[in-house]
Amino acid sequence: MTDHIITFNAGSSSIKFALFSVGADDLLQRAAAGQVDGLGGDARLEAKAADGRVLHDAAAPAGKLNNERDALAAILALMQARFPQLRLAAVGHRVVHGASRFSTATLIDATMLATLRTLVPLAPLHLPNNIAAIEATRRAFPGVPQVACFDTAFHRGGGFLREAYALPRDYFDAGIRRYGFHGLSYEYIAGRLAELSPREAAGRVIVAHLGNGASMCALRGGQSIDTTMGFSALDGLPMGTRCGAIDPGVLLHLIETHGYEAARLSDLLYKESGLKGLSGISHDMRELEASDDPRAGEAIAYFCTRVRREAGALAASLGGVDAFVFTGGIGENSGRVRAEVLAGLEWLGIAFDRDAQPEGREDRVVSVPGSQARAWVIATDEEAMIARHALRVIRAGAQGAITPSIPARHTDASLP
């Protein structure tokens, strides 16, 4: 019987998951993947096998998938039904914020989980969902090792100059620092580029993770040396509904002059800004690209301008650029965004021909032959990184796989 690792990536209204088999020499092979979208509303469970076969794709009956616990119950029941000999070696979780407490993937126990709860104020819209997923899977599989994989961990170790804000020193000591996010994605891209082009990966690389959440990272020798996000996932680039970098004086003005309180500010900055706010149409780049409304074009142009601006700052941190990588939903799929970004980065040595851009889902070069610095499109795989970290942690401390039985409340869960 083959051991498996299942990974969970819990968002505000969705949960992504993937199932990996553990083969000889601990080689991980994806067996299935999917997601639950629209929790609490028009929820839908989708899952595909590694060969593309649809395992499940249906909307949930009303009231069946209201929260993380419901979603996890449905996911686990589906995996048990489709893989009846399933034996879990570990469960891996993406956890958005580890603050200064966690700088590497960590085995979850009661003490660690209690510490994680104290960090909720650092990421109030993300950590509660991450914790809910952990609690639900611990109940489902009480004997299986659970591993937390932190999105901030990849950026840790930069020291005072890279992490401090220009506030009194006591704030830095209290944890008010630049942490950075999307670390699991950047770690995967660093490893994948090393497979595709070792020379470039060993040099100076800018990675643009562009999606509903967006950030950029400067890599030198595969290590993070600078990134656009800071203390929270609000900083840096404008995103689907998040504002990105903003003059803090604007926030003071809204508080002092317009009577904004924390909850109203949070909704504005996290849920009503970014592409959605700029366009007044949608947070979805695909909808904006399909629109002939001039506001949609302005929002796209603003987004691309900010990507170019941050690229210049990261190039300064690196002292030059050997490669530029696009990843994430927008970075991998929007030729228009890639073209508009790279058309303004010729000074970095990237020769880009918007009329000769190869398409497809495979990892590929999108700069012209002979470009001093090459531009790549590389599909990210955060789930693979979570599985790798989970396997490493249990190999370091666990005594082998455990075969769990799913309690009745999970096996009886109705699939949508």
C-alpha to C-alpha distance for 100 and 179, rounded to whole angstroms: 8
User: What pLDDT does residue 361 have?
Assistant: 67
Residue 382 main-chain phi, psi, to 5 deg: -65, -35
Looking up tokens 């991980």, which residue turns up?
A: 28
The reported pLDDT for the residue numbered 88 is 92
End-to-end CA distance of the chain: 29
**Cβ neighbours of residue 235 under 8 Å, at least 6 residues apart?**
228, 229, 244, 245
pLDDT at residue 160, rounded to an integer: 94
Q: In angstroms, rounded to a whole number, what is the distance separating the alpha carbons of residues 284 and 282?
A: 5
Residue 222 CB partners (closer than 8 Å, separation 6+): 190, 191, 193, 194, 201, 202
The verdict on whether 322 is a catalytic residue reads: no
Q: How many CA atoms lie within 13 A of 378 on its CB side?
A: 28
Distance from C-alpha of 109 to C-alpha of 179, rounded to nearest angstrom: 24
**Per-position b or e across 135-165, b if 16+ CB within 10 A of its CB:** bbbbebbeebbbbbbbbbbbbbebeeebbee
Taking Cα atoms as reference points, which of 195, 117, 227 lies closest to residue 384?
195
88: enclosing H helix or E strand: strand 87-95
Which of the residues 151, 226, 235, 381 is marked catalytic? Answer: 151
Give the per-residue pLDDT at 358. 61
> d(Cα 37, Cα 45) in Å, to the nearest integer?
7
pLDDT of residue 415: 35
- Contact status, residue 243 vs residue 274, Cβ threshold 8 Å: yes
DSSP secondary structure string, 20-71?
EEE-GGG-EEEEEEEEEESTTSS-EEEEEETTS-EEEEEEPPTTS--SHHHH
Query: Which helix or strand (DSSP H or E) is residue 301 part of?
Result: helix 294-318
Residue ranges of domains in the chain, CATH in brackets: 3-176+398-411 (3.30.420.40), 198-377 (3.30.420.40)
pLDDT on residue 222: 98
Separation between Cα atoms, residue 143 and residue 122, nearest integer Å: 30
Low-confidence residues of the chain: pLDDT under 50: 398-416
Please choose, from the candidates 338, 339, 347, the residue with its C-alpha nearest in 3D space to the C-alpha of residue 320.
347
Q: How many residues are listed for the chain in this entry?
A: 416
Predicted pLDDT of residue 277: 98
Q: Taking the complete model, does pTM exceed 0.85, yes or no?
A: yes
Is the alpha carbon torsion for 335, 338, 342, 343 positive or negative? positive
What is the maximum span of the chain, computed from C-alpha positions, in angstroms? Answer: 65
| Full strand arrangement of the beta sheet holding 106-107 | 54-59, 44-49, 28-37, 14-22, 3-10, 87-95, 146-150, 106-107
